[in-house]
Chains A and B, each alone.
Chain A
Amino acid sequence: MERDCIDDCVTLCRSCDLVVTKRALPSGVRALCPRCHTALYDTPYCSINGMLALCITALIFFTPANFLPILELHFLGSVRTATIAEGAIAVAHQGYWIVGISVMLTAVIAPGILILSILSQILIIKYRLHSPFFRDLLKRLLKYQDILSQLTMLEIYLISILVSVFNLSDFADIFLGMGTFCFSMLFIVTLFLQREYNLEHMWSMLDE
């Protein structure tokens, strides 16, 4: 009896193991650990349908963002274009495959898997797929969610594009294309998706 009560009204800070009494929060407010200021929990506000819409939009932008050139360079009559993957492959081709892999992983693979993973989580929850296979899948996806969102570095890549534009405009003419636009949109949509997404809330869906 007492145990049940403790389970419901108490949480432990994952950074410092402090016992914190849970309180009801107004929406948009986050509870921080009073001792070490780690974010503990917030009011679950995740509209499943809203996230589904964001997910589909992100998927639509994902393909052009990765297959259209993000930058175009004109230098003495010759034109060069590059996509994100070409950048990674070009570096790997020079023998720096660690750099190539990390670029590929953080700018193409991780964002792609992140969007697909959130999409499948949403579909499982929305259509209440309760068979053991789907429950197991949801559990696995949720476990990798944290590392995936850490590996997703779209915002950093966007700033890198800007830095490269300034860097290269010294030598040559630089043009932004449709790919740059799609990439920026992909970044914005993913940003909102990650804001809306609440891991704790997703885990609680599994308990139901």
Chain B
Amino acid sequence: MSNIDENAQGKEMGLTTCPSCNKLNEQKQTHCTRCDSPLMVRDTTSLQKSWALLITAAILLIPANIYPITMLTDRGRIRHDTIFTGITHLVQSDMFPIAIILFTASILVPLLKIVGLTIYLTAISFRLPISKKMLMVGFHIIEWIGRWSMLDLFVISITVALVNMGQLLDAKPAPAATAFALVILLTQMAAKVLDTRLLWDRLESKDDKNRSTKSR
């Protein structure tokens, strides 16, 4: 099979993979021969869907960060904590490792995810000459690390269930929790819905051409 061109796309050979079971199919088929899912050589509408989800997520990131995410009543005194002040409290009480975990999961990851996806989508929509390889590495990292933002919500749910002693000591969620949950959901969907093959059809930059020499 050495006669196959090193840069051949399946699209040019009349082949396509099934989006749900990865079986190789011919383009003339409308449904996968193995799992009957509808086949699509490229899902061009996925770019719009992904943009829409991403923009919504970016807007929701603002309320998620400026509104309080927890409300703590400690001996009659009510304290509202945003994501950021919650972390500064942890730093002040000398719990650096926990502070770092929470900072990564609730501030760094959502921000990087939104910035990363924006770069990725702009590169596809406006054909920016950014290295496709770098973009794809970034995309894989985003896909993998995105789930970890759920950490903060789990911690809130455990805390709310345990700490409920009226005026003495009481923890409750606050408005930012919903916004934060939606940010996670929407960014994960934006990454999931996107047909990444679109990137490889459109861009052509220099560093991707010497790929064949490296891979051998």
Mark A residues whose CB is within 8 Å of B. 3, 5-7, 9-12, 14-19, 21, 34-38, 70-71, 73, 75-76, 78, 80-82, 86-91, 94, 96, 98-100, 102-103, 106-107, 139, 142-143, 146, 150, 153, 156-157, 159-161, 163-164, 166-168, 170-172, 200, 203, 206-207
**Given A19-B13, A106-B150, A203:B158 Cβ within 8 A:** no
User: Using Cβ atoms and an 8 Å threshold, which residues of chain B touch A167?
Assistant: 90, 95, 98, 155, 159
Residues of chain A within 8 A of B177, CB atoms compared: 91, 96, 99
Give, as a whole number of angstroms, the nearest-CB distance from B185 to chain A.
7
Size category of the B interface is 35 or more
A90 and B140 form a contact (CB under 8 A): no
Residues of chain B within 8 A of A100, CB atoms compared: 157
* Residues of chain A contacted by B199 (CB below 8 angstroms): 16
Contact A160:B158 (CB < 8 A) given known A10-B24, A35-B133: yes
Q: How far is A170 from B89 in the complex, measured between Cα atoms in Å?
A: 11
A163 to B150, CA, bound (A): 13
CB distance A166 to B8 under 8 Å? no
On chain A, the residues within 8 Å of B98 by CB distance are 163, 166-167
Q: How many whole Å from B127's CB to the nearest CB in chain A? A: 16
Q: Report Cα–Cα, A14/B201, bound state, in Å.
A: 13
* Contact, CB under 8 Å: A98 / B178: yes
The answer to whether B150 touches A102 (Cβ under 8 A) is yes
Q: How far is the CA of A153 from the CA of B152 in the complex (A)?
A: 13
Nearest-Cβ distance from residue A102 to partner chain B, whole angstroms: 5
Residue B130 at the chain A interface, CB threshold 8 Å: no
CB-defined interface of B151-184 with A at 8 Å, one 1/0 digit per residue?
1011111111111110011001100011001101
- In the complex, the answer to whether A157 meets B154 with C-beta atoms within 8 Å is yes
Asked if A163 and B101 sit within 8 Å, CB to CB, the answer is: yes
Asked whether B16 lies within 8 Å of A206 as measured between CB atoms, the reply is no
Whole-angstrom CA separation of A139 from B24 in the bound complex: 17
Q: Are A35's CB and B155's CB within 8 A?
A: no
The answer to whether A103 touches B24 (Cβ under 8 A) is no
Q: Do B181 and A160 touch across chains, with their CB atoms under 8 A apart?
A: no
Measured CA separation A150–B22 after assembly (Å): 17
